[in-house]
Amino acid sequence: MVLCQNSPAGRLCPPIGAPRLLSATDPKPLASTIVRDDEAKLVSAAKAGDAAAFEELVNRYERKIFRLGMNITQNREDAEDVMQEAFLKSYTNLDRFQGDSRFYTWLVRIAVNEALMKLRKRRPNQVSLDEPLNDGEDPVFREIEDWGPSPEQKFAQTELNDILNSVIGELDPIFRVAFLLRDVEGISTEETAQILGISEAAVKSRLLRARLKLRQKLNKYFRRSEPQ
Amino acid sequence: MNCKKVILELTSYLDGVLDSNMRADLEQHLARCTDCRVVVDTTRKTIQIFCNSEPVPLPEDVRQRLHTALLDRFRRNAKTI
């Protein structure tokens, strides 16, 4: 959970849901008094015009959405655009949010769509969101070598980050997104299926291929023998 | 259970959602198959390494631009109410 940065203790706030206009002398909205876990109340208040309630949702999720954008697009400017568009679109379309999923799930869906659009714009002939044809590779039993107990400790943190960014960037976007949502963001299979508009079985299938491909790509760095 | 079936069930096994009979069969196979044991172990480590990796920080200038854009949208929205 991301800690809210705009919650000065002891500040008086208007009643929940009361529209609050922002003044030029105090442009930072007052923090909502709603407890952190009560996302539905924040959304209701935001729908009623409470800008501070929406800002609290932003404070809660901005880091996660930026990280997701970075991990999908592998580009800081794109990630910033993805984050801005996700929050602005979710604010503009808040009335359309029916509450049949968590707000966060809906927000992630918008962010994923924005990020995939960025990828398609960048490489229109290379990025397909269709299920890739079998490339003939068997990612499972080509290289079977033990890694030892803590293989990541062979590398300094910066070097490890570069390796992880590199291998995840090599995955097809549909596998990359499935892996990021399930294994990095910790979103359930059911919610990942909602976000991607596919079945849970398809999520599991993509996740399996993503995990196996990443394992194979990391093998050259982490196997017990010296890295290449 | 054979090696192919282990791979098919790998995601459910690592996520802890495999039913108990299937899990017992799979673990019996792992006890006698080194290759599958290594694949399961290294796949589990793959997930852990990504989970434990340093989160991408949100740069302050990027955060400020987001909040400025939101503030602008809030103001425009307030004018139309």
DSSP structure string for B4-44: HHHHHTHHHHHTT-S-HHHHHHHHHHHHH-HHHHHHHHHHH
Could you please report the per-residue DSSP string of A181-196? IIIIS---HHHHHHHH
A83 → closest Cβ in B3, B35, B66: B66
Residues of A in contact with B66 (CB under 8 A): 58, 62, 80, 83-84, 87
Instruction: Please give the mean pLDDT across all residues of chain B.
Output: 91
Phi-psi region of A22 (alpha: psi -120 to 50; beta: other; left: phi over 0): beta
A62 contacts B66? CB cut-off 8 A: yes
- Per-residue pLDDT band for A5 (boundaries 50, 70, 90) equals very low
Tell me the percentage of chain B whose pLDDT exceeds 70: 96
For residue range B21-58, what is the model confidence (pLDDT) as tens digits? 999 999 999 999 999 999 999 999 999 999 888 778 89
Q: Which residues contact B9 (CB under 8 A, 6 or more apart)?
A: B18, B22, B26
- Per-residue pLDDT band for B74 (boundaries 50, 70, 90) equals confident
Q: Is the pLDDT reported for residue A145 higher than 90? A: no
In chain A, where the domains are located? 1-125, 151-222
Give the whole-angstrom CA distance, residue A168 versus residue A163. Answer: 9
Q: What is the pLDDT of residue A54?
A: 94
What does pTM read for this prediction?
0.79
Instruction: State both tokens at B16.
Output: 């802890």
User: Of A155, A159, A171, A180, which is closest to residue A209 (Cα–Cα)?
Assistant: A171
Residues of A in contact with B38 (CB under 8 A): 144-146
Split into its structural domains, chain B has a count of 1
Please state which of the four CATH numbers 3.40.47.10, 1.10.3720.10, 3.10.20.30, 1.10.1740.10 is assigned to the domain occupying A1-125. Answer: 1.10.1740.10
CATH of the domain at B12: 1.10.10
Q: Is the pLDDT reported for residue A134 higher than 60? A: no
- Per-residue pLDDT band for A22 (boundaries 50, 70, 90) equals very low
Residues of B in contact with A91 (CB under 8 A): 70, 73, 77
A183 contacts B71? CB cut-off 8 A: no
A211 → closest Cβ in B3, B47, B69: B47
What is the CATH code of the structural domain delimited by A151-222?
1.10.10.10
> Would you tell me how many other CB atoms lie within 10 Å of the CB of residue A179?
25
- Range of A21-25, A104-108, A140-144, A147-151 with top mean pLDDT: A104-108
B70 contacts A80? CB cut-off 8 A: no
Could you please report the per-residue DSSP string of A28-73? SPPPP-S-TT-HHHHHHHHHTTBHHHHHHHHHHHHHHHHHHHHHHH
- Per-residue pLDDT band for B80 (boundaries 50, 70, 90) equals low
Q: Is the pLDDT reported for residue A133 higher than 60? A: no
Give the whole-angstrom CA distance, residue B19 versus residue A115. Answer: 36
B71 → closest Cβ in A22, A67, A207: A22
For residue range A190-220, what is the model confidence (pLDDT) as tens digits? 999 999 999 999 999 999 999 999 999 999 8
Residues of A in contact with B11 (CB under 8 A): 204, 207-208, 211
> Would you tell me how many other CB atoms lie within 10 Å of the CB of residue B35?
13
B35 contacts A141? CB cut-off 8 A: yes
> Domain span at residue B53?
3-80
B73 contacts A58? CB cut-off 8 A: no
